[in-house]
Amino acid sequence: MKLYYIPASCSLSPHIVLNELGLKATLIKVDHKKHLTESGDDYFKVNSFGYVPALELDDGTLLREGPAIVQYLGDLKPELGLVPTHGTLGRYRLQEWLSFLTSEVHKGYIPLLYPTLAGQYLDTAKPKLEKRFAWINEQLATRPYLMGDSFTVADAYLFALTGWGQAAWLTSYYKTDIHFDHLHNLRAWYDRVKVRPAVQKALREEGLV
């Protein structure tokens, strides 16, 4: 398998999941401005949309979209419990989380990532995003991970997204000054996830620590 990634982006989520599962994949870094891989290949020829993550299977099949990729990976080793079993309510809960994270949180960041959109739109987008994080904080009041007692692929996705509010280089370049220090459950969750060996390994492999 090959995972196409941009350091510190949403592709950190499947990268963490690969490490949690102990699966080997070739990591291919993509330059987010030039859309070239490290070896100079045109990334648009891999994914015509130009975005990561993209997972290339051993038979050459390409799987796109973070929520689909992490479920595919989790299902390769169901015994590790990173995804609930198909057909159970737990699986729909997972999809509920992944849909919420992708549409309400991930894409909620977009206006903040483009400084040229600063102004009224930003003033609307930022409180919305903060409200969603506050809600996540409430959910974490009674459980250590998003789905309950154990880490799932939803935690990997949220970790990638919350990192955008933490990294100084991002907050100074973009307008991602979303802070969690007052959201104690989310803060504790972030610290809990960050020390997981698989997460540390992914951060090292992406050059982030």
- Which range of residues in 51-59, 70-78, 123-131, 189-197 is near ligand GSH by CB under 6 A? 51-59
- Which range of residues in 3-11, 80-88, 127-135, 137-145 is near ligand GSH by CB under 6 A? 3-11
Of 3, 18, 29, 51, which lies in the binding site for ligand GSH, with binding defined by CB under 6 A? 51
* Count of residues in contact with ligand GSH, rule CB under 6 A: 11
Of 66, 108, 111, 163, which lies in the binding site for ligand GSH, with binding defined by CB under 6 A? 66
- Which range of residues in 6-14, 114-122, 176-184, 194-202 is near ligand GSH by CB under 6 A? 6-14
Alpha-carbon distance of 36 to 38, in angstroms, equals: 7
Q: How many CB atoms lie within 10 A of CB 150?
A: 12
Cα–Cα–Cα angle for 184, 105, 120, nearest 5°? 100
Residue 95 or 102 with smaller CB distance to ligand GSH: 102
| SS3 of residue 14 by DSSP | helix
Write the CB contacts of 5 (distance below 8 Å, at least 6 apart in sequence): 11, 12, 14, 15, 27, 28, 29, 30, 52, 53, 206
Residue 34 or 204 with smaller CB distance to ligand GSH: 34
163 binds ligand GSH (CB under 6 A): no
Q: At what angle do helices 12-21 and 197-205 cross, to 10 degrees?
A: 130
Of 38, 50, 131, 150, which lies in the binding site for ligand GSH, with binding defined by CB under 6 A? 50
154 binds ligand GSH (CB under 6 A): no
180 binds ligand GSH (CB under 6 A): no
Alpha-carbon distance of 110 to 117, in angstroms, equals: 9
Alpha-carbon distance of 91 to 18, in angstroms, equals: 19
* Residues near ligand GSH (CB under 6 A): 6, 9-10, 32, 50-53, 65-66, 102
